[in-house]
Amino acid sequence: MHFEIDVNERTHKVSVEKLGAATGDGGTFRVLIDGVPAAVDARRTDLGLSLLFDDGRSVDVALTGRPGGEWFVQLPHADVTVAVDARRYQRGESGGAAKSGLQRVVAPMPGRVVRILVKPGDDVVHRQGVVVVEAMKMENELGAPKAGRVKEVAVTEG
């Protein structure tokens, strides 16, 4: 999976590859952040994730979802707000709002639709939450790629 994350107004390119079989509680992943590789063993906790890096470092991360596809991430020595945009990296766009015309909201990984936050005809702003998807026991709010009007909702809850 490839995506970009915005942390403190700085954009980072991230690639994540699952190594072996992942369980519902986590697994081992190869992560590439701005070209720097690492192997990470990630396990779910009540507050977020426990990460064990291949160099022996261990980090507990608390995650809180926010509207518009943002996450509040609490690290041991810093708290940051992170915006994740899988579409921008996969399409090779340089950033900013999506192109003009019809846009689709597509989850970056398979999951279950938990809540639909809009209906056809609703006006939305850029990054406004439109659907909540659960993947790997984590709820992710997917945001509108640009301001506009919802033409169709092609999914159902469940």
Q: What is the mean pLDDT of residues 26-41?
A: 87
For the stretch 98-142, pLDDT in tens is 456 777 787 766 778 899 999 999 998 888 889 988 877 778 888
Q: Do 117 and 79 sit in the same domain of this protein?
A: no
| C-alpha–C-alpha distance, residues 101 and 147, integer Å | 11
111 and 79 together in one domain = no
pLDDT tens for 64-74 read 877 666 778 88
**Tokens representing residue 8 in the block:** 């403190």
Is residue 38 situated within a structural domain? yes
Identify whether 85 is part of a domain. yes
Q: What is the CATH number of the domain that holds 117?
A: 2.40.50.100
| 38 lies in the same domain as 88 | yes
The model scores a pTM over 0.75? no
Residue 145 pLDDT > 70 = yes
State what percent of residues in the chain have pLDDT above 70. 83
Where b means 16+ CB within 10 Å and e means fewer, 108-132 reads beebebeeebbeeeeebeebbbbbb
Residue percentage of the chain with pLDDT more than 90: 6
Q: What is the mean pLDDT of residues 85-101?
A: 50
pLDDT score recorded for residue 86:
53
